[in-house]
Structure 1
Amino acid sequence: MEHNEYIDWKLLVRRMNGELSKEEEQKFLMWFAKDPRRKEYYERMVAEWNSDIIHESDMPKGLAKLDQFLYLQRKKKHRVMLRRRWLKWSVAAVLLVGLINSVYMLRRMRVEIPENTSIAVITPGESKAILILPDGTNVNLDRVVDSTDTFIGVAKIKRNEGTILFEEDKRGSEMEYNTVVTPKGGEYHVVLSDGSKVWLNADSKLKFPVNFGEGGREVFLSGEAYFEVVHDERHPFIVETDLGNVRVYGTQFNVRRYVDEEEIKATLVDGSVGFAKNGQEEGEYIKIEPGYQIRYEEGQEVVVQKVKVHNEIAWKNRQFSFERKPLDEIMKDFMRWYDVNITFEDESLNELYFSATLNRYGNIETLLRFFEEGYDIKFEINGRNIKIRRK
């Protein structure tokens, strides 16, 4: 390996903080994959960075000693002490918040990347979706190559923003529907013709009218979505699912209803919403206040409980956040976001509980190391298949 094949140490530091753009992340992955010694270099850098006290002016000199192929600055005029309070926000692209009832000291954290693993294979999700027009035409929203805003009928695709905006089609009167589908490893932002905003999580589908009629504004959801609904008393907004409907009175809220999960969850951030099981009338809607969540499983009673809203909508804020959550439920979100298949060698491992806040755009190998810190478990990665077993 030649000496001129180097990477700026500031980029490596920013990666540990989870601050890289997609282009910078690809640059890092390419640099990382070219030489096995870089794995050791990066691990040792993380260990050094996570020590009790680090002086920024010492970093270039210290890192230069770790590997001869990096050219680093050796003199800094400015000397800044990075104390532990700051460091707890920067550990290998992971924001770590405690495990079960304790917080790990960052100096004990280590990044371990398994041998014979291609880190470039599994990447975080990105803005991509399929738009299905009323006539059945499919438009791949991540493959539009025009460098400017693109128009498809009354839909406007905002380039490089992962957003599609719909305008009212005054030409037609029939009730026609558009559908936006996000695959595993995808997310997308939709602005409906009434101005209401919807953020779709991975593996989700939203069906909605091209034009909202004179009555209610009904949309159909499978998966998970965050809504900011424009208030309109004369035209109530209703999110329909296969288990029941969420009636909206002008608000911000999250709805989660994946077909491989037994329940629907509606979490209110601001405003007011109500929920009714299929077949119930308008007067039977159960209303909740901000900070509360409605949960319903078919055949059971509706449950209303106060929740930590941050955990429920963390996905929209670029995070995984969970508190005393079983490992199998956490891994479902990992599978959808990273488009991988995760299996348990021992079913008893399903019920291990974790609490943390992690960077949703972090490298999956780094994130999985967090779980290994708390229990005697090991993640084995083979392509897009991941097996969880006891060490």
Structure 2
Amino acid sequence: MVIAFENILMTMGHDEYIDWKLLVCRMNGELSKEEEQKFLTWLAKDTRRKAYYERMVAEWNSDTIRESDMSRELAKLDQFLYLQRKKGHQVMLRRRWLKWSVAAVLLVGLISSVYMLQRMRVEILEKTSVAVITPGKSKAILILSDGTSVNLDRGVDSTDTFIGVAKIKRNEGTILFEEDRRGTEMEYNTVITPKGGEYHVVLSDGSKVWLNADSKLKFPVNFGEGKREVFLSGEAYFEVVHDEGHPFVVTTDLGNVRVYGTQFNVRRYVDEEGIRATLVDGSVGFAKNGQKEDEYIKIEPGYQVRYEEGQEVVVQKVKVYNEIAWKNHQFSFERKPLDEIMKDFMRWYDVNITFEDESLHELYFSATLNRYGNIETLLRFFEAGYDIKFEINGKNIKVRRK
């Protein structure tokens, strides 16, 4: 699909912004009465919107278009309206003879839902040397309570292995710990995922933990009679077995997340400011280090608690999918600055990314991308949104202006 935007003048206002999904549903005949009225109100504000929408419908009805292509095209309009509304003034788009190409940009590695409105120009990444940069995989190091280290890399051995009460299922990238009450002394194991790694851990009580890249989880070989406490650095998704008599606590250097049988995500990287815990289902509470049990702040599903050292605890509603997308093999972000996105890329692809100009940090993107996609393909997406370029030299990547 190729669509050209030429001499479009948009007067920005609070009613200009419309969710691109609404337009997609309109073309599919899936709008409710309320949504239909919202669409018609938006459409009536400017004759150019009607012309734009008619062109969308024409493309939609063609044999060559796919839904993901249309989603991307509509997303460009959405992002443009959002960005210009923030600026608070009128914008004239200069005539661009360079047409917008959507279907050819990211046929591999994108799922759709991409917000952009800048000229989409796909160029081959400039490389000063050929580099083999691969996405992360199931790999980790297990450090037993006696100090012994075990490589959990899936590629080391395809057979299941037993180490004491632990069963390593390398083909599945999982390690399971069975309960063993023979010992009374509290002993701890630690699973560490390097950059470019992830791993699945099943604790002795049956609770499940998914570790993201560059993370560390310390946990008892057997949980005692009191609380079930684990220690986290990095990011992990938890599915905790309910046990009212033995509360589950995730401890970090900034605070603790107290769990009451639930599914949630905790992110606390030392190179990022603060901790954030996102609740998917059930109930959790958060307390800063040193706070008492009755001072825990509880949140509901769909909410996130954030805390930065020296600041107040903040509770806010979030799009849970974006927060846990990594567990579902995706990158998902909405109006997120480029430097924050690249931090996740660095951890997952085990590369070093630098910026030629700090102003490039504040370029905002929204997308859902394949976490196992080729990094060069994914970087082209960012190049298409703004006049930027990624130079690859071995495992070093530099972001600069074109």
Q: Does 1:126 pair with 2:137?
A: yes
Cα RMSD of the aligned pairs, angstroms, is: 2.1
Match in the other structure for 1:349:
360
C-alpha displacement of 1:96: 3.6
Match in the other structure for 1:296:
307
C-alpha displacement of 1:220: 0.1
From the superposition, tell whether residues 207 and 380 of structure 1 become closer, same or farther in structure 2 (CA, over 3 Å).
same
C-alpha displacement of 1:248: 0.2
CA distance in 2 between counterparts of 1:144 and 1:87 reads 37
Q: Does 1:308 pair with 2:319?
A: yes
Q: Does 1:389 pair with 2:366?
A: no
Match in the other structure for 2:162:
151
CA distance in 2 between counterparts of 1:231 and 1:312 reads 23
Q: Does 1:98 pair with 2:80?
A: no
Counterpart pick for 2:291 among 239, 256, 280? 280
DSSP-derived class of the 2:199 partner:
strand
Q: Which has the higher contact order (CA 8 A, sep 6+)?
A: 2
Match in the other structure for 1:221:
232
CA distance in 2 between counterparts of 1:159 and 1:214 reads 31
CA distance in 2 between counterparts of 1:206 and 1:224 reads 9
Q: Is the Cα–Cα contact under 8 Å of residues 389 and 401 in structure 2 kept in the other structure? A: yes
Q: Does 1:167 pair with 2:178?
A: yes
Matches within 5 A, 1:1-391: 83-85=65-67, 87=69, 91-100=107-116, 110=122, 112-115=124-127, 117-118=129-130, 121-142=132-153, 145-391=156-402
Q: Which moved more, 1:157-166 or 1:135-144?
A: 135-144
DSSP-derived class of the 1:367 partner:
helix
C-alpha displacement of 1:115: 4.8
Q: Structure 2: state its 5+ residue gaps.
A: 1-58, 72-105
C-alpha displacement of 1:99: 2.6
C-alpha displacement of 1:148: 2.6
Q: Is the Cα–Cα contact under 8 Å of residues 127 and 392 in structure 2 kept in the other structure? A: no
DSSP-derived class of the 2:67 partner:
helix
Q: Is the Cα–Cα contact under 8 Å of residues 215 and 234 in structure 2 kept in the other structure? A: yes
- Compute the TM-score of the two structures, normalised by the length of structure 1: 0.75
Q: Structure 1: state its 5+ residue gaps.
A: 1-51, 56-80
CA distance in 1 between counterparts of 2:314 and 2:269 reads 18
User: Which AA in structure 1 matches 2:180?
Assistant: D
Aligned length: 310
Q: Is the Cα–Cα contact under 8 Å of residues 341 and 384 in structure 1 kept in the other structure? A: yes
DSSP-derived class of the 2:209 partner:
strand
From the superposition, tell whether residues 260 and 84 of structure 1 become closer, same or farther in structure 2 (CA, over 3 Å).
same
Q: Is the Cα–Cα contact under 8 Å of residues 216 and 234 in structure 2 kept in the other structure? A: yes
Write the deviation string for residues 160-218 of structure 1: whole angstroms up to 9, x where unpaired. 10000001122211000000000000000000000000000000000000010000000
DSSP-derived class of the 1:160 partner:
helix
CA distance in 1 between counterparts of 2:262 and 2:270 reads 25
Q: Is the Cα–Cα contact under 8 Å of residues 133 and 178 in structure 1 kept in the other structure? A: yes
Identical residues among aligned pairs (%): 81
- Compute the TM-score of the two structures, normalised by the length of structure 2: 0.73
User: Which AA in structure 1 matches 2:232?
Assistant: L
